[in-house]
């Protein structure tokens, strides 16, 4: 298993959650790299269940956060 520091941190804001009980609108979620999912226009997200799942990319807008905020989000 890779350490959190080995992965480039990426975050996105949820803008759509149709059919998902584990996504809240306007909430920031961590994205995990998944190149095979990206081919099919999906994104791997750690949702409110605490697990990572694939969601349509249209459900999110990727954002760049200052490093300090990224670190705080990982602790929460």
What structural domains and CATH numbers belong to the chain?
4-75 (2.30.30.40)
Query: Does the pLDDT of residue 15 top 90, yes or no?
Result: yes
Segment 32-75, tens digit of pLDDT: 999 999 999 999 999 999 999 999 999 999 999 888 988 888 87
- Structure-block tokens of residue 49: 């269940």
| Length of the chain (residues) | 76
How far CA 67 is from CA of 34, 42, 72, in Å, comes to 22, 25, 9
pLDDT band, residue 2 (cuts 50/70/90): very low
Q: What is the pLDDT, as a whole number, of residue 28?
A: 95
pLDDT band, residue 1 (cuts 50/70/90): very low
pTM, rounded to two decimals: 0.82
- Structure-block tokens of residue 40: 């099919």
Helices (H), 3-54: 35-39
């Amino acid at each position: 298993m890779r350490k959190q520091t080995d992965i480039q941190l990426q975050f996105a804001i949820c803008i759509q959650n149709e059919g998902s009980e584990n996504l809240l609108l306007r909430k920031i979620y961590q994205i995990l790299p998944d190149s095979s999912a990206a081919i099919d226009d999906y994104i791997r997200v750690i949702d409110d269940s605490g697990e990572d799942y694939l969601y349509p990319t249209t459900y999110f807008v990727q954002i760049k956060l200052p490093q300090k905020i990224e670190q705080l989000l990982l602790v929460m």
